Amino acid sequence: MMNALAATNRNFCHAARILGLDSKLEKSLLIPFREIKVECTIPKDDGTLASYVGFRVQHDNARGPMKGGIRYHPEVDHDEVNALAQLMTWKTAVADIPYGGAKGGIGCNPMDLSITELERLTRVFTQKIQDLIGIHRDVPAPDLGTNAQTMAWILDEYSKFQGHSPAVVTGKPIVSKSEREDLGGSLGREAATGRGVVFATEALLAEYGKSITDMKFALQGFGNVGSWAAKFIHEKGGKVVAVSDVTGAVENSIGIDIPALIEYKEINGTLKDFQGGDSMDLNDLLIHECDVLIPCALGGVLNKENAADVKAKFIIEGANHPTDPEADEEWLYFPDIYANSGGVTVSYFEWVQNIQGFMWEEEKVNFELQRYMKRAFREIKAMCKLHDCSLRMGAFSLGVDRVARATLLRGWEA
């Protein structure tokens, strides 16, 4: 299987060839603007010292401040962070929001750390990178293993150095609809990636004269993205027949009661032993009988080993890089740089609200998200038609073209 960086580079190079980019410009666009590696040493609750390696890769700022999540995961490594930072550059350009790409992470298992240890680690990491992030420089967000609380700690630590700066991170907490402006979190942000996945699903199905109500869905991953996507699909009359996460997998051929499953997981912390369906092997989710498969977990799960066994006709990439390029042409799919861009789009709305000091109602957030995603879909389709290419290459070409144009307009020198 191709690693994330090699796969992302391959997609970029293919798009660059489609666009006929100058080879020197192509090489320049591939090289990150800055790569940061820091050692974060913290006292553990038992009094011992522990050290963790943190990364921040800032890929490109031609179109605006760099933007991307911070993940806490044992497998965070330099290549992965580099690939995801580059992916964010193209994703923000496809969504047509004024950002470049960045990504960060700490190699740790958040499940093994207490809340106080996580807070110490987050604050030390922020101290080490605070002079390299900022409202108009680099704006972090939550990712795998981090959440709104993590962002609140970063905001607080950063503000000690730079003054109160709510727009320095997005994905901040919301106390309630009436108290959302306490830390500047935006309504609609938590559900945004899952909602965007559903907008992408509707757009792709409509191209083939189908709708969510006609379809059976399987979702791999039932965290933030998967659970919200499943909830919206269920509300729109779609039949979710299989769901999995790291704790277990559930199937029900007549459709899973998604609100009941969400409630069960909130109470029990697992999908295991849910009574509204039959237990199934985790590894069978991707090859389960369904019309639409939505991978919302880790990357590289669809590859040439299992491609032939996948029964879904449509694939919507809720995760980053779930499909290995070697298995790419097997299905009708929507690529990650479009399908999961709802989160960064509403992050942009949150940043705008923070800078203006004027918060939006949730209806406005959701309306604007749908407008942005519909526009991006039309533009991707136009690119596919112009270059006679796949949806993935249409999206990559759109993103790369916008970044290349901005770079040239700013006065890039060969």
- Nearest CA to 312 out of 336, 284, 278 is that of 284
Alpha helices, H only, 96-181: 115-129, 148-162
Q: Is 160 annotated as a binding residue?
A: no
- Token pair of 113, please? 């750390």
Which residue of the set 24, 37, 103, 231 is catalytic?
103
Question: What is the distance of C-alpha 174 from the center of its chain?
Answer: 20
CA distance 298 to 144: 9
DSSP run (H or E) holding 64: none
DSSP secondary structure, 325-390, as one string: GGGGGGSEEE-HHHHTTHHHHHHHHHHHHHHHT-PPPHHHHHHHHHHHHHHHHHHHHHHHHHHT--
Strand boundaries in 190-236, DSSP class E: 216-220
Cβ-Cβ contacts under 8 Å for 318 (sequence gap 6 or more): 193, 194, 197, 219, 221, 225, 226, 229, 294, 295, 296, 336, 339, 340
State the amino acid at position 233 in one-letter form.
Answer: I
Helix (H, G, I), strand (E, B) or coil at 34: strand
CA distances from 182 to 59, 193, 345, 354 (A): 31, 23, 21, 11
Q: 193 labelled as ligand-binding? A: yes
Does 265 count as an annotated binding residue?
no
Please state, in angstroms and as integers, the Cα–Cα distance from residue 320 to each residue in 18, 72, 369, 413, following that order.
23, 15, 19, 32
The answer to whether the annotation marks 67 as part of a ligand binding site is yes
Give the three-class secondary structure for 268.
Answer: helix
Q: 341 with 91: CB under 8 angstroms? A: yes
283 belongs to an annotated ligand binding site: no
Per the annotation, the verdict on 103 as an active-site residue is: yes
Binding residues: 67, 91, 193, 224, 347
Binding residues for NAD(+): 193, 224
Which residues are marked as active site?
A: 103
Binding residues for substrate: 67, 91, 347
